[in-house]
Structure 1
Amino acid sequence: MSRIATPAIETVTGAAADIYSRIRKNSGGRISNTYAALGYLVPASLAAVLDAQETLNAGSLSRQEHEIIKLIVSVKTGCELCVAAHSYLGEIAGIPVDTLRAIRAQRPTGDAKRDALVRFVSHLCITSGTISDDEFTAIRAAGYTDIQLAEISLTFALGIFTNTFNRINRTDVDFPAVE
């Protein structure tokens, strides 16, 4: 059970109700437990997340690449909810189930560019400080541009934010369980 009580979505007013309305319009009506809690507690923070995601959606990384980045961050931080969410959203984005399994297990997927992204994001998760020239050269050699490296950074940061909140809150998982 989540540690932070969140009122029923239908009962919320003000800025939280406004942000819930925005989510409903863009998600077909569904508001995840993470977004319900963040929207209630700090609506402006959730608005910032949604704005950043809209910016990324208009960028050059594919939806699959965004989900891969968030899935790796979730696996590395141990956020059960986010692993389930990004496995589910990754499948909706067209990533085959076997590929998602391989990504979660950090096994090769058979796609060199995707595997380079998994390695790079995994490396970012487990190290501190400036990445090595070898890491930078490898991700660039895989075909990622300077703009995409900035987009990877923002996607990574969004994943860290929601993963950290969910770990603190122990947010109830509201996505299909990962097999």
Structure 2
Amino acid sequence: MPRLTRLTPDTAVGASRDLLADLVSRHGRIGDMVSTMAHSPAVLGGYLQLSRAMGRAKLDRRIGERISIAVQVQQGCGLCLDAHVGAARSLGVDEEEIQLARAGTSADPAIAAVVALALQVYREPASITDEQVTALREYGYSDRAIAEVVGVVALNVLTGAFNLLAGLTPESATRA
């Protein structure tokens, strides 16, 4: 059962009402997480800005979804995990790779290395070494793509932690 209520453009106030109204006008509906985030215009606005910014990332989305799966397995947000598994499938990531992502790895050594880095960013960023970053460059990752790993992890921490706090689960999600 959700711990926080969902808001609509009619029930939200101030900046949150404006943000929700804009989202509804552009997309036709809003999801449970976004409607619940509207309790804080700062959280909702920050999420929307980071989400839009990461939409412009150069890191391959199929890799980003594997990172998201690995992080959400660790964080424990079933709602996010389901969404990222679905997104990975829609991008053509096969079931074996999805299962490997759940385990924090990949059959492809280059992807395994970047997923491992992402999990390290999530768990213990102070332990990242120069050698790890050099190895990622040797696999062909640009400094931009390496930096974007932090953005993917940060977005997952925000959404997963929020959903867990709010009590949003796959079972509680409204199906629209």
TM-score (norm 1): 0.81
Q: Which residue of 2 aligns with 1:5?
A: 5
Contact kept, 8 Å, 2:32 with 2:174, in 1: the verdict is no
Structure 1 residue 97, shift from structure 2 partner: 2.8
Q: Which amino acid aligns with 1:142?
A: Y
Q: 1:42 to 1:4 in 2, by over 3 A?
A: same
Does residue 129 of the first structure (1) align with residue 118 of the second (2)?
no
1:86-125 residue pairs with structure 2 within 5 A?
86-108=84-106, 110-125=107-122
Partner in structure 2 of residue 34 of structure 1: 33
Deviation at 1:24, TM superposition (A): 3.9
Cα distance in 2 for residues equivalent to 1:36 and 1:44:
13
In the alignment, what sits opposite 2:17?
17
Contact 2:23–2:30 (8 Å) recurs in 1 = yes
Give the match for residue 56 of structure 2. Answer: 58
* Matches of 2:39 and 2:72, distance apart in 1: 22
List alignment gaps of at least 5 residues for structure 1: none
Sequence identity of aligned pairs in percent?
Answer: 26
Question: RMSD between aligned alpha carbons?
Answer: 2.4
Q: Distance in 2 between matches of 1:139 and 1:175?
A: 40
Moved over 4 A (4+): none
Which residue identity lines up with residue 138 of structure 2 in the other structure?
A: A
CA separation of 1:99 and 1:76: change in aligned 2, threshold 3 A: same
Residue 148 of structure 2 is matched in structure 1 by: 151
Q: 1:47 maps to which residue?
A: 45
Structure 1 position 85, deviation (Å): 1.5
3-state secondary structure, aligned to 2:126: coil
Aligned length: 172
Is 1:166 the equivalent of 2:163? yes
Q: 1:41 & 1:119 partners in 2: Cα distance?
A: 34
Shift in Å, 1:160: 0.8
Q: What is the CA–CA distance in structure 1 between the aligned matches of 2:111 and 2:62, rounded to whole Å?
A: 9
Give me the whole-angstrom Cα distance separating, in 1, the residues matched to 2:169 and 2:10. Answer: 19
Measure the CA separation in 2 of the matches of 1:161 and 1:50.
Answer: 11
User: Which amino acid letter does the alignment assign opposite residue 11 of structure 1?
Assistant: D
The CA deviation string for residues 118-149 of structure 1, in whole angstroms up to 9 with x for no partner, is 12112222324141223222222222111112
- SS at 1:129 equivalent: helix
Shift of 1:63: 2.2
TM-score, normalised via structure 2 length: 0.82
